[in-house]
Structure 1
Amino acid sequence: MQRRFRKFFSQLLISYLLIGVLPLVIIGPLAYSLVRNVLLDRVRTTTIEVNERLFLQLQSLVGDTLTVLDAIATDQAFLPLYAPQISQQQQTNLYNALFLLLTARHLKPSVHVVSLDGQVRLNSVETPLEYTQQPYRSWGVLRKAFLANGADVLYLHAAQDGLGRILTLARYVKQASFEGFIILDVQFDQLDEVLETYVSAHFPYVAILDEHMTSSRMLNGIFSEQELDFIRQNSQSMHNPVSINNSQRFLYSVQTDHELTFSLASLYPLAQIDEITSIVATISISLGTLMTLLCFYLAYRYSRKASKPLDEVVALLKRVSEGDFSARTHITGNDEFSVLGESVNQMVMDMERLLLTNQQKEQSLRTAQIKALQAQTKPHFIFNCLELVKWYIMLNQSEEASATIVELGLLLRSTLDLAEGVITLEEELAIISHYLALQQRRMGERLIVEWDIDPELYTLMIPRFLLQPLVENALMHGLEKKRGKGSLTLSAKREDASILFGIADDGVGMESQRAKSMASYREITNAMQEGTGLQNVQRRLSLNYGSACEFSISSEVGKGTTITIRIQQGALQWKKG
């Protein structure tokens, strides 16, 4: 007896360890590595691509500003600027030419043409004193332009600049009758407005650096002095994670314009990725330890109790295999083995009944198909919701992610009970309202939802998750691909002797032939291997209502799609009370 117990214990322990612990030992490190590498690769790719686009955009804006500077320096319309005297009519013409020149530009810099003696020849706004007074010419942009001797220079202003400037382009001009400077100031608000899309969406920290990387101006976020020093000493982009003094890791990218000698530095902290991978590692180790202890406990407990009940079950199954369906176990108690004995007895009775009636077999298969389809639909929807939370997290929108998780919790609370295959229309609409709340959080004002529900139909019983996949389909394939706002209308009403359900959107639509093909029901022999969506809903309608329901799709490219379900009232049930 003791030998049998030890043998059974060792076999159970090995089995539990192989089933419960070994997968965790293998999957845990793989999951940790996969999560870390996938997230890091995604951040790295995004950092490189968006930084390049941002740098090109900044180069384009600076280049457009240089075009304005060249026009003022060389265009025929501005030649009177460099004459010894400027008449009143010439002054008017100069301002008109400047107005026309700046009107065609998306980025409109402040223009100042100042002679060496401090006289303002032309300006688009009030000229700062530092451009006209002699003491200021020994430093700053004027000194830099004078030393460049006719070449274009770019000067970065400090963040505390009282005039709100971020950078200035200037050129020193020396002609027979004129010697002075052409100065173009770019305001921080102007540049921030143009670059806002790139900066806010992808980079917590972005800065412009001068040619010596000693002066910097933040476009977004704040670099620490240690981070700036590290970038100055390592001016090449670093696409592998780095850290300073074993502190927070980050990726950074540096792009340099060698002609105007300025650089754009973008820094992406990896604290969030490190936190996620740390959680994955902690969970893997904790689960591995817990499962090992649990395996020892279960192996010991069940090896002590399993011998006699299992022998009785084996004897029963042997008699059943010989055709004796009257055999029963007599296991008593309130533990798992008593449940096993009852289950085996019930299994034998079920087998006997299944052999006696083919009708019960068909009904059982029909019920199993419906349960399988419900089980497919729910995970499909939850996965899409979790994808939304994931992107909020990756975009560093923690508040949005938290609010979305709360909304998802409300939705899950209304969908956890799958014991019943049917629910009321009111409960189905509650599930849809939670789902649409999640989608409106993601799409914002782009999504307009309208409800046209007959209140008398709220107690109507329908299969669970019958309408929600159609709403999800309308959003994914109709409204998300549409530019601008889109509306979704849900309706339920009586029409003659039928109940009519409608899901309508004004999205991108589709060709009528394709809509007709999608609405055509085709018989599927293996429900367990089919996907969710339209075919899922059609199959469930067929299993529940047969020929008493109709499913149709009408659509037109550019105008939207309408899905209609018509069910005869005689085939429907209503909630009692």
Structure 2
Amino acid sequence: MKFNWGNQHKPNLFTLLFLYFLIVLIVPLGLFSAYYALAGNTNQERYLMRQAMNMTTGDASTVAQALESYRHKAYQLSTNPLVVEILKADSLEAESSQSRKLYELLFTVMHGDIYLASANLVSNSGKVRVSTHVFPEVDDLRYHGNDWDMASIINQNSQVSPTASLISIQSHRIAENGRQVVASILRRVYDQEGTNLGYLVVDMYADALSPQVNSDHVLTDMLLVDTKSFYATSLVHPERFGSFDRFPALNTLDGNYTPRSLPSDTSIIAISPIRGTGLHLVGSLSSAPFFQSMENWLSAFSTTMIIGVVLALGLSYLFSRSIARPIKNLAKRMREVEQGKLESREVSSAISEFSQLEHSFNVMIKQIISLLDLTREEQAKLSEAERKALESQMNPHFLFNTLNTIKALARLHGEEDIYTITVKLGKLLRSSIDNRESEATLEQSMALIESYLTIQKLRFADKLTTEVYLDPSCKHIKTPKLIIQPLVENAIIHGLEPKVGSWNLSVRVERAGERISITVGDDGVGFPPDRLPDNLDELANSPHVGVYNVYRRLFLKYGRKLHFSLKSKEGEGTWATISFPDEEAIKEEMQ
């Protein structure tokens, strides 16, 4: 028994499988958890920043549309001829038809917005004061005097050109009807000469903007910001308004009011301009719940990871053992066979491949036992055959000595024909019993034919005429021995001897490109076509064993590349044609 000491330090199959299963199960989980631990917070923050920016930008567009709508209403009223006429007259009686028409005009233009905004008209003297609601005291010019009250948008109108609208959030206050005013729009009223007659003010209540922004209630706050006056008002909590110092979240912007989103301590801040105005919308999204949810998720994932590792250990152990056990048993039996214990026993396995492996191993053991028995028997037969072969070598030796004696006597008595036959017969005999080489060149085969035909000519004299041709380029081609002589012998015995008259026999070896052609033809009696076999393998059980022997040996050498045909016409003769490739020429071309 041989021992491989180097294998003692190698891990066994069970250990390797166990480690591989663990790696396959745990590594993906580890990578997944590491990714979220390292990049999860960053990705979550980026997602929140994109979400806050998208929502703020969308709400800024909504606010811009609302402001533009009310600005258009202010323009319609401030340029209406009836409004210009009444403010120019600076007089309006409550019971007059002009008063009714003016109120009808105000309510028509503000139709559908009575609970969202109010329209207020006031002359420069303050004598004309008209409103869709209770006229606000802050816009009553009779009480303004020299007081600088920024809650009145009229005191802010110097900030814009005479013909433009002013949108302000500094007029934030509680209106007389109890509603929060979050923004005001001012238009001056001019006559045809360009004289300023008074003002039209549209006060927008919180309900005009609040329900339309942050409709999903995801943002914690939404600020309407005037970056020039550093004033802000909350659309989510309308009661919160004032300068920037009342809104710590705005400090995160650090004076940069370009559209963007950025993280704060516990929230995400996004700013977007309101189209057509000097205002901005600032959205605030609290990130604390999201990150808390992320931490909870990571905690749950870590717990799941620990449970998964424990399960992976158990499953890896079971799976590894189920695969390694049959291999271990098979290896044990192989070591027993190595020690000479040739015993086979059936072992079933739940895995079909291992079961097949066990079965194949058992079949192999049985075949080894059978081969050992056969080898012992063959060894005994080989010894017997060797003894007989040594004895049989004495017969050809005796026959050659006899032929040499006949040859010497023929030369002594001047019998040339007997001498020639003896020489040619010796060559034929030596070729047929020489087993040292299984192949011969075509030149050697044709020399053998010459010897055979010489004997036949001495036998039949001038009755037999032969034509033998060997293409010089075919001399070196090697083929199995004795492939032409049996065909020539068949041609003489079966084709020519039964014929009356002269006999003609042709043996030709020629080259056609990369193929060699051997043709043996005679003008003998021939035989009917129905006696020709459809398949040359049928000759194995026929009297023509010599032809089958030639065909079979050539087929074993050349396979399907061999062309072997027999043609015969009754009364005209028989032709045997063999064609096979010149393998040496083909190899040279490939090189």
TM-score (norm 2): 0.45
Work out which of the two has the higher radius of gyration on C-alpha atoms and give 1 or 2.
Answer: 2
